[in-house]
Amino acid sequence: MVETTTKVAVREVYLDYNATTPVDPEVREAMLPFLSDEFGNPSSVHPPGRRARKAVENAREQVAALLNASDPSEIVFTSGATEANNMAILGATIFAGHKSGHIITTQIEHPCVLGVCRFLEEQGFRVTYLPVDRQCRVDPQSVLEALTDDTLIVSVMLANNETGTVQPVAEIVRLVKSKRPNVLVHTDAVQAIAKISVDVQSLGVDLLALSAHKFYGPKGIGALYIRKGVKIAPLLRGGHQEHGMRAGTENVAGIVGLGKAAEIARRDFEVVTEHLWRLRRRFLRLLDELPMTRLNGHREHTLPSTANVCLLGADALAVQANLGQRGICVSVGSACSSGSLKPSHVLRAMGLSEMAAFCSVRFSWGKFNTEEEIDFAVEQTKEVVSLLREITLPEEIGVCDENCPCFFEGAGVA
């Protein structure tokens, strides 16, 4: 007799939308022709090339419309936000011929921005890394006070990828331009697109980066908005593509996917954001139903799709692993920094102790999640955390620093 075992399927609830999103079916359908019959090079003048060029320019118009850009030519397609952020900061500094100068950014930026700033420091530039408050928000006045005569660019993200806190970028632009009109202001808007209104006219920024795979488009394609009249130097040279700002044959299928994702985001914005806020309100009951928990980030100035929660007494990696076994996909921080044993630089900048940072988990949802999935995730998180707290010795976790925000809210470890 042959023994058989039956595998019980584990339902999968994906709550890591800040890392990447599924491709929207409409986006996939729009891309398919350019992965098969419509393979022309957009730089070619024959019919297949002209059709490819038309598709690229249509996508440029779609992205410009999403951002309320004044002209589609202000959109330059890149391989993603990392390249777009690099192009903005390096293009305004070392590639533009500057040998030295001053850059202002914050302590909570994405690694692709912080990495560029550290590289520029090695080349002789000075960088000011502004602090944030305990709710992960930078003070616009601190940006103004940091300006110097040789400041070249200010880079402040629009929404933080780990906590969801939205930064006062429009106010920062107003203050910077009132004191130093020639200083460029750049924002990494990757996490904000399709979650909150992103209008370059209202923001007033000179440069803005985005990535398709963060709002239901394909990976490997992004864009940099460059306000008309702003001069930065290209990183990639050799061809005339992208108005001379980025040499290389365009990724037509990816660009078409980005354009379609932008069109859908604009079309469905109100419905989707209302859904995201509803899911957030449903999720936050976790804070009331599970003791010793704290929301990391701002409750009002926030994305509707993100909740970073400190689960005191439960190691975040253990929570992530146990939830994963139950089919729930979450993150312990930025996907780009996963694998690091260091506590989140964002949470530490907010004042959290190492222990509190190591007990913090990021939940992020999207338009394809349901209320029932959120309820399931809340119940499973309560079970997992309660179990871990029972079997983990206090000394294995550590003691919360008295200066940690949660310590003063009555959530410290007894």
Between the CA atoms of 159, 165, 168 and 173, what dihedral angle is there, to the nearest 10 degrees? -30
- Known catalytic membership, residue 406: no
Take residue 179 and report the two structure tokens written for it: 């004191």
Which ranges constitute the DSSP H helices of 150-251?
169-179, 200-203
Among residues 194, 138, 143, 191, which one has the least CA distance to residue 168? 138
Cα 176–chain centre separation: 24
- Give the span between the Cα atoms of 406 and 404, in whole angstroms: 6
CB atoms closer than 10 angstroms to residue 248? 13
* Alpha-helical segments (H) within 314-370: 316-325, 345-349, 354-358
Q: What one-letter code names the amino acid at 133? A: D
Say how far apart CA 53 and CA 384 lie, in whole Å: 52
Dist CA 43 CA 87 (whole Å): 22
Q: Which of 16, 24, 20, 273 has the alpha carbon at shortest distance from 166?
A: 273
Q: Which of 263, 337, 345 is nearest to 61 (CA)?
A: 263
Tokens of 270: 């109100």
For residue 310, the SS3 value is strand
Q: CA 330, CA 332: separation in Å to the nearest integer?
A: 7
**H helices, E strands: number in the chain:** 15, 12
- Cα–Cα distance for residue pair 42/53, rounded to 1 Å: 4
Please give the Cα distance from 315 to 306 (Å, whole number). 20
Q: What is the distance between the alpha carbons of residues 110 and 211, in angstroms, rounded to a whole number?
A: 13
Catalytic residue, candidates 329, 336, 359, 404: 336
* CB contact set of 384 (below 8 Å; sequence gap of 6+): 314, 319, 322, 323, 326
177 SS3 class: helix
**Which amino acid, 152?**
L
Contact 128, 114 (CB under 8 A): no
Which are the catalytic amino acids?
A: 336
